[in-house]
Amino acid sequence: MARLRSLTEAIFATAAGPPPAARVDWVVAEVEDVLAHAGAQMRWTMAAATLVIVWIAPLFVGRLGSLASLPFRERVRALAALEASALGGPVLAVKALLCILYYEHPDAAAEVGFDAECLGLPSPAALGPAAGAEGVA
Amino acid sequence: MSAPEAELWGLEPAARKARVAELHSGIVHGRDVSGDLELEADTLVIGSGAGGAVVACHLAEAGERVVVVEEGEHVPPAEQAQLRPSESLRRLWIDAGLAFALPLGDTPAINVMMGRAVGGSSVLTGGVCFRIPGRVLREWSGEMGLHDYTEARLDAAHLDVERAVHVEEVPESMRSRSTTRFVDGARRLGVEVHPIRRNTVDCRGCGRCNFGCPEQAKLSVDQTYLPRALAAGAQVLSDCRVESLVVRGARVDGCWGHLLRGPERPPGGVFRVRARRTVVSGGAYGSPVLLGRSGIGRRSGQVGRNMTVHPAFRVMARFRDPIRGWQGALQSAYSEAYEADNVTLTGLFVPPGVLAATMPGVGREHVARARDIPHLAIFGGMVHDQGGGHVFEVFGRRAMTYRMAPRDKAAVPVLMRRMAEIFFAAGAEEVFLPVLGLGGVDADRMRTLDLERVRGRDLESGSQHPLGTCRMGVDPKASVVGPDGAAWDVKDLFVVDGSILPTSLGVNPQLSIMTVATHLAWKLRERRPRG
Ligand SMILES: Cc1cc2nc3c(=O)[nH]c(=O)nc-3n(C[C@H](O)[C@H](O)[C@H](O)COP(=O)(O)OP(=O)(O)OC[C@H]3O[C@@H](n4cnc5c(N)ncnc54)[C@H](O)[C@@H]3O)c2cc1C
Ligand code: SF4
C-alpha cells in the first residue's frame, strides 16, 4: 500500500507536487481491487515489480534505502532515471496499471482533456466527499 | 421460432431492449442458488461465448433440452453501461484483462485478453466481422483435408450468421478522426483501405464497445443467439465453473462443477449436469484445460498446443490539431495491403489511461505528455501468425506460453514501419511505436531506427484472438477433434469454439467462429443425441 502510494505520487506529480491525496488514495484502492480480480501470476508480477522499483530506483540517484524514504523531488528523479534505463521494465509495468486507473478519475481525465461521455467515468460526487479534496501539493 | 426472435434486431430499439431484458430474466445466477444443483439435458453446452451460444440456440430451436453453463457473471446490459473500463475488466474479463502468455525465445510478453461472462468474449468485441478468408479455407480444405470447409460449403452458414447478428458496413460518417487521419495518409501513399463491417444496429459511435455497449447496439451473442436460445426453452446458468467432464467408460456423460460466489468468496455448492451429448465451448483458454483435467486428448498430445494469437501491435501518432479519437465508431477501417507480409491493419481506440501508459516519463514529463491525449491517433496491426502457443494447467491454475516464429517476428518491423509511414504522410508530428521505453519518434529519427534489431521482450503486444488449442483435423494423432467437432478419444463429446480452428485467420475471428459453430450445430441437429 505504502509502496504503491509513493509510486503514484511520483509518477503523476506536477510542478505543484503530488496529486491530491484523496485521488491517490482512490487509485491505490482501485489497483488493489483490480489485482484481487487478476490471476496469481499478475499479482506476483506486480508485487515483484514494485519491490524492485522501490529498492533499485534510489541507486539511480546515488542513494541507498527505499524510494519512500527519499525527498519527493528525488523520488521523481530516481523513478525517471530507472524508467529510462535498461532496467526500466518494472516501472513500465507498474506505470501501465496505475495509468489505466488514474485517468479513470474524473478530475484526472478532465485535466488531460478527455471528455468521452459514455466511458462511465464517475462524477466526483459519486466518489465520495473526499474525492475532490485538495492534495498535499 | 417466431420471426421476432430470429431477427430481434429488426425491432424498434426500445422494444428490442425490453424483449432482450425479458428473456435475460430467465438466466439463472449460480451465485443465488443455495445448496447443490442437479440438471439433465439432451445437450449440455459449456461456455456461452461466440461458439457456445450459437450451438445452444440452434439445438434449442430444434426442440432439444439444452443447458448452458457459464463460469462468468451475468451482467445485464443496463448495468454494463454503467461500468468504468476498469470495472468492466474486473467483472467481464478473464484475470481482469491482465492475463499474459509467458514469452519463450525472442518473443514479446503478450497480454491475451478474453471474456468471462454470459456472452463470453463476444460481449467485449469491437464488433468487427470478417468472413473466413478464402485463402485460409483453401488451406483447410486443401492441404489439411477438411473438405467441408470451402467457401461454397460454408456460404449458407456465413449468411445465416451475418443475418442473425446484423452485419453492416460502418459508414464513413461514423469514422473517428483517428481513423480518418490514418485513411488520409494511406490514400496519399496509395495504400488501399476498406470500410469494416460490424455486427451493429443503431450504433451511435460512442466508442466503448470493448467494455459493453451502452446502447445494446452491438449485437453480441448475449443480444442475439442467447435470447433466441432462452426463448426456445434453453436453460442458461451463470457463475457455474465446470471443474471436470464426467467420463463413463468410453463416453462423456455431462459435467460437474462449482457454483461461484464472486471473487472474494469461496465457491458455494456443487452442480452436476447429466447430458446425452456435451459440447465444450470454453474458448481457446478454457476448453483445453477442461479436456486435460478430464483426461481427454492424451492420445494425440495435442490438447492445449498449437495456439495462435494474432499478436497485435499499436502505433500512435501525435498531430498538432486535436483528434479526440474516442469520438466515433471504435473500429471502422482496415487494410489488407500487407497481406504478403502476413500483416492486417485495423483501426481502433483505447481509453486515455492506456494511451497515457505508453507515454514516456515520470512526474512533470509524463503529465505534460498525457496532455497530448486528445491529439493522438492510433491504428493497430496484427500478424497472421503460425502459432507456437501452449495452454496448460500448473498447480491447478491455467497458464499459457507463446514462442513467436521467426517469420512472425520478422513481420513486426514491417508493420511498425508501414503504420508510421502512413501516419507521417497524414501529417503526424511524431509516432509512438510499441517498443518499450522508446518514446516519441519523428520522421527523421524513424528513418534511422533499426527496428529489425528490437528484441522480442522490448515489444509491447496484445492479443484478443487466441485460437487453435483443440484443433480440428482429419488425423487423430495430430488433432483433438474431427471435422464434425467430435472428440477423437471419447463418444458424445464435441468441441465448438475458437479452439478448434486449425490455423490462425489473419482477421478478427468472431464471425468465423460463429460460422463454424453454425455449420457444426446444423450437423448436430441432424444427429440427435443417443439414449
Ligand atoms: C477485448 C476483445 C475484443 C475483441 N474484438 C473482436 C472483434 O472486434 N471482432 C472479432 O471478430 N473478434 C473479436 N474478439 C475475439 C472474439 O470475441 C473471440 O474470438 C470469440 O468470442 C471467441 O469465441 P469462443 O466461443 O471461442 O470463446 P468465448 O467467446 O471467449 O467464450 C468462452 C466462454 O466459456 C466460458 N468458460 C470457459 N471455461 C469454462 C468452464 N470451465 N466452465 C464454465 N464456463 C467456462 C468463459 O467464461 C467464456 O465466457 C475480441 C475479443 C476480445 C477479448
Ligand atoms: S460505438 Fe458505442 S453504440 Fe456503437 S456499438 Fe460501440 S459501444 Fe455500442
DSSP for A111-129? HTT---GGG-PPPGGGG-T
Enter the pTM of the model.
0.94
CATH code for position B42: 3.50.50.60
Calculate ∠ Cα B51-B120-B276, nearest 5°: 50
pLDDT of residue B400: 97
C-alpha cell at A60: 539511480
Within 8 A by CB and 6+ apart from A30, the residues are A101, A104, B86
pLDDT band of residue A83 (cuts 50, 70, 90) is very high
Mean pLDDT by 10 residues, chain B (531 residues): 64 91 96 95 98 98 97 92 91 94 96 97 96 97 97 98 96 93 97 96 88 92 97 97 96 97 82 98 98 92 97 96 88 94 93 86 91 94 96 93 97 97 98 91 96 94 97 97 97 98 97 98 89 65
Q: Which residue's alpha carbon is nearest to atom 23 within ligand 1?
A: B50
- The helix (run of H) or strand (run of E) holding residue B80 is helix B77-80
- Over residues A68-72, the mean pLDDT reads 90
For ligand 1, atom 13, the nearest C-alpha belongs to: B125
By C-alpha distance, which of B511, B489, B488, B509 is closest to B499?
B509
CB atoms within 10 A of CB B500: 30
| B388 shares a domain with B343 | yes
Is the beta carbon of B380 within 6 A of some atom in ligand 1?
Answer: no
Closest Cα in chain A to B204: A118
Of the residues A111, A118, A127, the best mutation for testing chain B's interface (the one with the most B CB atoms within 10 Å of its CB) is: A118
Burial of residue B34 (number of CB atoms within 10 Å: 0-12, 13-18, 19+): exposed
- How close A30 gets to chain B, by Cα (Å)? 9
- B313 and B267 inside one domain: no
Regarding predicted confidence, which is higher, B421 or A117?
A: B421
Write the CA distances from B372 to A27, B125, B403, integer angstroms: 22, 27, 35
Measured between CA atoms, how close is A28 to chain B, in angstroms?
Answer: 13
Residues B125 and B130: their CA atoms lie apart, in Å, by 13
Q: Please give the residue of chain A at the shortest CA–CA distance from B86.
A: A101
Mark whether B230 and B292 lie in a shared domain: yes
Q: Look up the ipTM and state it.
A: 0.86
Q: Is B359 found in the same domain as B266?
A: no
Q: Are residues B250 and B291 in the same domain?
A: yes
The verdict on a CB contact (< 8 Å) between A37 and B211 is no
CA separation for the pair A66, B134 (Å, rounded): 58
Which positions ≥6 away from B155 have C-beta within 8 Å?
Answer: none
Residue B340's pLDDT is what?
Answer: 94
User: A117 pLDDT band (50/70/90 cuts)?
Assistant: low
Same domain, B497 and B447: no
Residue B112 lies in a domain: no
Ligand 2 binding pocket (C-beta < 6 A) is B 127, 200, 203-209, 213, 215, 217-218, 329-330
- Yes or no: say if B48 and B216 are a contact pair by the CB < 8 Å rule: no
pLDDT > 70? residue A119:
no
CATH of the domain at B317: 3.30.410
Predicted confidence at residue A27, as pLDDT, reads 96
Domain contains B82: no
- β-partners of residue B318 are B376, B430
| Residue B141 belongs to some domain of the structure | no
DSSP state for residue A21 in the 8-state scheme: H
- Residue whose grid cell is 495491403: B337
Locate B36 and state its grid cell.
Answer: 447443490
- Grid cell in block for residue B324: 479526440
**Is 80 exceeded by the pLDDT of residue A132?**
no
Distance, in angstroms, between B248 CA and closest chain A CA? 33
Domain coverage including residue A57:
2-133
Question: Does residue B519 carry a catalytic annotation?
Answer: no
Q: Within a domain: residue B488? A: yes
CA pair distance B438, B444, nearest whole angstrom: 15
Q: B294: how many CB neighbours lie within 10 A of its CB?
A: 21
Q: Are residues B190 and B328 in the same domain?
A: yes
Mutate to test the pocket of ligand 2, among B176, B203, B349 (most ligand atoms within 8 A of CB): B203
Confirm whether B454 is domain-assigned: yes
Residue B84 included in any domain: no
Q: What is the mean pLDDT of chain A?
A: 84
Q: What share of chain A is helix, strand, coil (3-state, %, to 5)?
A: 65, 0, 30
Q: Among A92, A102, A120, whose Cβ lies nearest the Cβ of B84?
A: A120
The alpha carbon of residue A129 is apart from the nearest alpha carbon of chain B, in Å, by 20
Strand partners, B103: B402
Ligand nearest to the CA of B45: 1
Q: Chain A partners of B363 at a C-beta cutoff of 8 Å?
A: 10-14, 76, 79-80
CB B332 within 8 A of CB B174: yes
Q: Is B47 in the pocket of ligand 1 (CB under 6 A)?
A: yes
Which structural domain, as residue segments, surrounds residue B440?
169-209+309-463
Longest Cα–Cα distance of chain B, Å, equals 71
Q: Tell the residue nearest (CA) to atom 39 of ligand 1.
A: B282
Instruction: Report the distance separating Cα B498 and Cα B415, nearest Å.
Output: 25
Amino acid at B310: H
Distance B52 CA to ligand 1 centre (A): 10
Q: How many domains does chain A have?
A: 1
* Residue B357 sits in the same domain as residue B445: yes
Q: Answer positive or negative: Cα dihedral of B221, B227, B230, B235.
A: positive
In a domain, B80, yes or no: no
Q: Are residues B414 and B451 in the same domain?
A: yes
What is the 8-class DSSP label of residue B214? T
**Continuous segment of H or E residues that includes residue B258:** strand B251-259
* Residues present in chain A in total: 137
Torsion angles phi and psi, residue B103, rounded to 5: -80, 140
State residue B488's pLDDT score. 96
DSSP category for residue B209? G
Same domain as B415, residue B488: no
Per-residue pLDDT at A64: 92
pLDDT on residue B330: 78
If one residue of B98, B211, B464, B495 were mutated to test the ligand 1 pocket, choosing by the most ligand atoms within 8 A of its CB, it would be B464
User: How many separate domains does chain B show?
Assistant: 2
Q: Which ligand 1 atom lies nearest to the CA of residue B47?
A: 34
pLDDT digits (tens, 9 = 90+) for A42-54: 888 999 999 999 9
Closest residue by Cα to residue A50 from A80, A12, A92: A92
- Looking at the fold, whether B173 and B285 belong to one and the same domain comes out as no
Question: B127 CB less than 6 Å from ligand 1?
Answer: yes
Ligand nearest to the CA of B354: 1
The torsion angle over the Cα atoms of residues B498, B502, B508 and B510, rounded to 10 degrees, is: -30
Give me the pLDDT at residue A120, please. 58
Q: Which pLDDT belongs to residue B219? A: 96
Which residues of chain B are within 8 Å of residue A117 when distances are taken between CB atoms?
A: 206
Mutate to test the pocket of ligand 2, among B122, B128, B206, B223 (most ligand atoms within 8 A of CB): B206
A120 to B81: CB separation less than 8 angstroms, yes or no: yes
In DSSP terms, B195 is beta-bridged to: B333
Three-class SS state of B397: strand
**One-letter identity of residue B306:** N
Question: Is B75:B238 a contact under the CB 8 Å cutoff?
Answer: no
Q: In this structure, are B372 and B428 located in the same domain?
A: yes
CA distance B103 to B400: 9
Residue B472 lies in a domain: no
